[in-house]
Structure 1
Amino acid sequence: MRPDLIGGEGYLQNCWYVAGRSEDFGRELTALTMLEEQIVIYRDTQGMAIALEDACPHRKLPLSRGTIEGDHVVCGYHGLTFDCSGECVIAPTQLDNPPRRAAVQSYPAEDRWGFLWLWMGDPEQADRGRIIDIPNFDNPSWGKTQKGAMEMACHYLYITDNLLDPSHVAWVHLTSFAGAGTDNRPLDLEETEDGVIVSRWVLDEAPPPYYKDMLPFGPTCDRKQHYECRLPATAINMSVYAPQGEGGKDVPQSPNAFVNISYNFITPVDGGRSRYFWFQHRNMHAGDAALSQRMFDGAIMAFTEDKEVLEYVQTGMAKRKTPYINLGLDAGAMRFRTRVARQIKSEAG
C-alpha cells in the first residue's frame, strides 16, 4: 500500500499556534489538547494568559480539576500548588520538605489579533516577533468579521491541502465561492521563505454569489484567487476583484479593487482532529455591520461544507483498501507538506 501523504507524522514544535480566541480564556481553568499535549490555560490577576501542562507531577491528576488561588493553581488531589512558571511553591502535606522535582511544563503565551497564541516548543526559542503580522488590522477604513472557531475531525494537513486548492470551490462551494474559471484555469505556484502560494487570475467573468453584492462594479470583473499557507499551519486566502480590464498577472493592483482576506489558523489536536480559527478582513464597507454578519454567516456555511468533505477524506484515507493518487491541482499542497516534513526532520535532528 502506498504510504501516507508526506508531512503527516509528527508536528512542528518551535512555532506559535492559536489556542483559541482571547475571550475564550478567563479566570477559570480551561483544559485543551494541542499537538497531543494536555494543557490547562487560565488568566492571572493581571489578566495575563498562563498555560501549563495539565498534569500534576504526583499522580498526573489534571490540574484543570483543581482550583485557582490568586495567580496559582492548586491540584485537587493533595493541594500541590504551582506558580505561573510551573514551579511547585507549596506542598501542604510536607511543608518542611517540598518535593524537589515537582514542576510542570509552562508554555509561552501571547494575546495578538484577538487570539491567544501558544509556543509549543523550546521556551528559550520563543520569539513573539514570529507571530504573523496582519497589515491594516487597526486601519479604520478596513472592515472585519467576528472571529470564527470550528472543530474538524481530520488531520490538520488535510485542511491546509484544501486551503491550497482553489479548484475545489467549483464543486464544494456552489452557492458561495464558486464561479466561472475556478474549475480549470491554469494555476501559478510560488514558494516563499516559509510557505507556498497557489494563485490565478480569472478575467472578465461574473463574480461568485458570495461577493456579487459587495462589488461597486460589474456585471463582470477580473478576479484573483490567492491561496497561501505558511508554516506551521496558517492559511491566507485573498480574493481580489477589480473592474473588468484592470486586473491580471503582473499588473499593479487597481486602486478600485475590492480585497477580502481570510486569515485561517489551524491547530492540530491529534492525528485525527484539528481546530480551525479564522476572521475576514476587507478594504471596503468598513462600518457595514450587516455585511460583516452576512460574510461571517457565509463563511460558516462554506467551512461547514469543507468540514463534511474533509472528515470523509480523513476516514477514507485511514481505511483505504486501494492506492490514492495525486492530481495536478495537488502540487501546492504537496509542496507545503514537503516543507512541513523537512522542518519536522530539522527540529528532530
Structure 2
Amino acid sequence: MRPDLPGSTGYIRDCWYVAGLSEDFDRSLTPLRMLDEDIVIFRDTAGKPAALEDACPHRKLPLSRGTLAGDNVVCGYHGLTFDCTGECVIAPTQLDNPPRRAAVHSYPAADRWGFLWLWMGAPERADVRDIIEIPNFDNPDWGKTPKGGMSMQCHYLYIIDNLLDPSHVAWVHLTSFAGAGTDNRPLEVEEMDNGVIVSRWVMGEAPPPYYRDMLPFGPTCDRKQHYECRLPSTAINMSVYTPASEGGYDRPLSSNAFINISYNFITPIDATTSRYFWFQHRNMHAEDSVLSERMFEGAKMAFKEDQEVLEHVQKGMAKRKNGYLNLALDAGAMRFRNKVAKAISGEQT
C-alpha cells in the first residue's frame, strides 16, 4: 500500500504552539495534551504562565491532580513540591534527604496576541521573538473578530492541507466563501524558506455571500485568495477585494482594497486529534462590533464544515485498502508537507 503522506509521523518541536486562549488559564491547574505530551498549565501569583510535565516523578500521578501553594505545585500523593522551573523544592517525607532526580520538565510559556504559546523543544532554544508577528494588531483602524478555538478529530496536517487549498471552498463552503472562479482558475504556488503560499486573482466576479455586505463597492470586484502556511502549523489566509479592474498581480495593491486576514494556529494533540485556534483582522469597519461577531460566527460555521469533511478524511485514510492520489491543487500542500518532514528529520538527527 502507498506510504502515508509526508510529515505524518512525528512533530517539529523547536517552535511555539498555541496552547489556548490566554484567558483560559488562571490559578487553576489545567491539564492538556500537546504533541503526545501531557502538560499542566497554571499562572503564578504575578500572573505569569508556567507549564510543567503533568506527571510526578515518583509514581507519575498527574500534577494537575495536586494543588497550588503560592508559586509551587504540590503533588496530591506524597506532597513532593515543584517550582515553576520544574525543580523539586520540598520532599515532606524526607526533608533531610530530598531525592536528587525529583524534577519535571518545564516548558517555556508566553502570552502574545491573546493566546498562550508553549515552546515544545529544548528550553534553552526558546526565544519569544520567534512567535509570529501580526502587523497592525494594535492599529485602531483595523477591526478584529473574537478569538475562537475548536477540536478536530484528525491529523493536524490534514487541516493544513485544507488551508493551502483555495479550491475546496467551491464545494465545502457554498453559503460563505464560495464564488465564481474558485473552482477552476489557475493557482500560483510560491515557496518560502519556512512555508508555502498558494494564491490566485479572480477578476470581475460577484463577491461570495460572506463578504458581499462588507464591501464598499460592487456589484462585481476583483478577488485575491491568498493561502499561506508557515512552519510548524500557522496559516495566514488573506482575502483581498478591489473594485473591478483594480486588482491583479501586475499592479500595486489598490488603495480601495478591502483586506481580511484570518490567522489560524493549529496545534497537534496526537496523531488523530488537533486543536484549531483563529481570529480575523480587517482593514475596514474597525469599530463595528456587530460585524465582528457576525464574521466570527460565519467563520466558525465554515470551520465546522471543514471539520466534518476532514474528520471523514482521517477515517478514510486510516482504513484505506489501496492507494490515494494527489491532484494538481495539492501542489502547495505537498510542498509544505515535505518541509515539515525535512524539519522533523533534521531535529531527529
TM normalised by structure 2 equals 1.00
Partner of 1:40: 40
> Shift of the alpha carbon at 1:250?
2.6
The list of structure 1 runs, each at least 4 consecutive aligned residues, that deviate by more than 2 angstroms after superposition, is: none
Q: Please give the alpha-carbon distance, in whole angstroms, between the structure 2 residues aligned to 1:196 and 1:243.
A: 27
> Shift of the alpha carbon at 1:124?
0.7
AA matched with 2:338: T
TM normalised by structure 1 equals 1.00
1:147-296 alignment to 2 at 5 Å?
A: 147-296=147-296
Partner of 1:122: 122
Q: Please give the alpha-carbon distance, in whole angstroms, between the structure 2 residues aligned to 1:25 and 1:118.
A: 13
Q: Please give the alpha-carbon distance, in whole angstroms, between the structure 1 residues aligned to 2:107 and 2:202.
A: 44
Q: Does 2:112 align with 1:112?
A: yes
Q: Please give the alpha-carbon distance, in whole angstroms, between the structure 1 residues aligned to 2:343 and 2:95.
A: 45
Partner of 1:67: 67
Q: Please give the alpha-carbon distance, in whole angstroms, between the structure 2 residues aligned to 1:250 and 1:239.
A: 18
> Shift of the alpha carbon at 1:289?
0.4
Partner of 2:337: 337
Q: Please give the alpha-carbon distance, in whole angstroms, between the structure 2 residues aligned to 1:91 and 1:250.
A: 68
Q: Please give the alpha-carbon distance, in whole angstroms, between the structure 1 residues aligned to 2:192 and 2:334.
A: 14
Partner of 1:10: 10
Partner of 1:303: 303
**Structure 2 unmatched ranges of 5 or more:** none
Aligned residues: 349
Helix, strand or coil at the partner of 2:141: coil
CA displacement, residues 3-54 of structure 1 (integer Å, 9 cap, x when unaligned): 0001111000000000000000000000000000000000000000000000
Partner of 1:320: 320
> Shift of the alpha carbon at 1:251?
1.4
Q: Tell me the percent identity.
A: 77
User: Higher mean Cα deviation, 319-328 or 49-58?
Assistant: 319-328
Partner of 1:82: 82
Partner of 1:27: 27
Q: Please give the alpha-carbon distance, in whole angstroms, between the structure 1 residues aligned to 2:291 and 2:67.
A: 42
Q: Please give the alpha-carbon distance, in whole angstroms, between the structure 1 residues aligned to 2:329 and 2:240.
A: 21
Helix, strand or coil at the partner of 1:229: strand
> Shift of the alpha carbon at 1:127?
1.2
AA matched with 1:18: V
> Shift of the alpha carbon at 1:152?
0.2
AA matched with 1:148: G
Helix, strand or coil at the partner of 1:20: strand
Helix, strand or coil at the partner of 1:93: helix
Q: Please give the alpha-carbon distance, in whole angstroms, between the structure 1 residues aligned to 2:69 and 2:226.
A: 48
Partner of 1:96: 96
Helix, strand or coil at the partner of 2:320: coil
Helix, strand or coil at the partner of 2:264: strand
Q: Please give the alpha-carbon distance, in whole angstroms, between the structure 1 residues aligned to 2:250 and 2:85.
A: 51
Q: Please give the alpha-carbon distance, in whole angstroms, between the structure 2 residues aligned to 1:315 and 1:306.
A: 14
AA matched with 1:210: Y
Q: Please give the alpha-carbon distance, in whole angstroms, between the structure 2 residues aligned to 1:301 and 1:163.
A: 15
> Shift of the alpha carbon at 1:111?
0.2
**Structure 1 unmatched ranges of 5 or more:** none
